[in-house]
Amino acid sequence: NAALGYSRYPWVLSMDADEIIAQEDHDTLRALLRESPRRAYRFITRNYTDDATTSGFEPVEKGAPHALGFSGCFPSAKVRLFPNVAGVRFEGVVHELPNASLERGGIDIVDTPISIHHYPLLNLREGAEEAKKNLYLALGKKKVAANPSDAKAHSELGDQYIDMGAYGAAIEAYKMAVALEPTAGRWLKNLGAALYLLEHYPQALRALRLAVLRDPALEEGWRNLGVVLIRQGVWQEACDALEKAVELNEGHPDNFRYLAIAQSGCGDVSGAIETLECLFQRFPAHEEGRMLYANLTANSDSGSDS
């Protein structure tokens, strides 16, 4: 907000020092600046990491130009570009956003496909990552204390506990979010994921089944449900869940990979091979998929020989 006071131009683009907009998106960004000054724009942030247990983790192709060697990322959406008008300010203790003030000012928020590439773990000093986690945990607790009825604040605190490996505390935070908004599938999805990490599989199944019942369009909920069902050996329901995940999002390679595992568990090896071939059409270099494909085809060939 102090920086906003120094801004003298019609638009504000908010970015951190560890973020970039790729060169190929610059023309699209310039085009937005020629649009109505009564609009603000929400961008997708691609947060790069090697931690595949992170909620929303999406693998990236090996050698992807903007991944800088990271194996995947998780997406988040934030308003980044907005008109420089009186009254627009960031609000909140942590993950501050201008959304509330934009809405009060009658400024529409519009989605744009431009990506912000975020590298929070690049070139960290020794101990800096742990210090950052501790800071965000403290801020998350402060936000919950200031907004005890805000389900999202409790869920964000749960996310911070997950980052710290404190899965039990994360479960309690997610439970509070669910208690505050019991019809919101996304909080149940987070609760189910945390229960899975603690190997509380029956409870994870209940939470995830409720999550997709509350929100049938929750692709990550269907994928997580499929993974837990695979872990429990409930193969046909796992296939059904993962088919739904693929239907909702063909752009996530794990939807195909886990579906192939579930199909194999059902005895449908040819179907699993076809699913992996669909995966390779979209992600030709997917290593885990290639390993699974080699195992399935080898077993299929040996079975036919016998």
pLDDT in tens, 228-253: 999 999 999 999 999 999 999 887 88
- Number of Cβ atoms within 10 Å of the Cβ of 263: 25
For residue range 8-62, what is the model confidence (pLDDT) as tens digits? 999 999 999 999 999 999 999 999 998 877 899 999 999 998 887 676 788 887 7
Q: What pLDDT is recorded for position 301?
A: 62
Q: What pLDDT is recorded for position 306?
A: 38
Q: What pLDDT is recorded for position 56?
A: 75
Least Cα distance to 90 among 34, 184, 7, 18 occurs for 7
Q: What pLDDT is recorded for position 302?
A: 57
d(CA 11, CA 30): 11
Q: What pLDDT is recorded for position 305?
A: 43
The full DSSP string for 198-234 is TT-HHHHHHHHHHHHHH-TT-HHHHHHHHHHHHHHT-
Three-class secondary structure assignment of 101-164: HHHHCCCEEEEEEEEEEECCCCCCCCCHHHHHHHHHHHHHHHHHHHCCCCHHHHHHHHHHHHHH
Residue 225 near residue 218 (C-beta atoms within 8 A): no
pTM of the model: 0.69
d(CA 16, CA 8): 19
Residue 88 near residue 100 (C-beta atoms within 8 A): no
Contacts of 111 (CB under 8 A, 6+ apart): 41, 42, 77
Q: What pLDDT is recorded for position 164?
A: 87
Q: Which residues of the chain have pLDDT under 70?
A: 53, 55, 124-127, 301-306
Phi, psi (degrees; rounded to nearest 5) at 56: 80, 10
Q: What pLDDT is recorded for position 157?
A: 94
d(CA 15, CA 267): 50
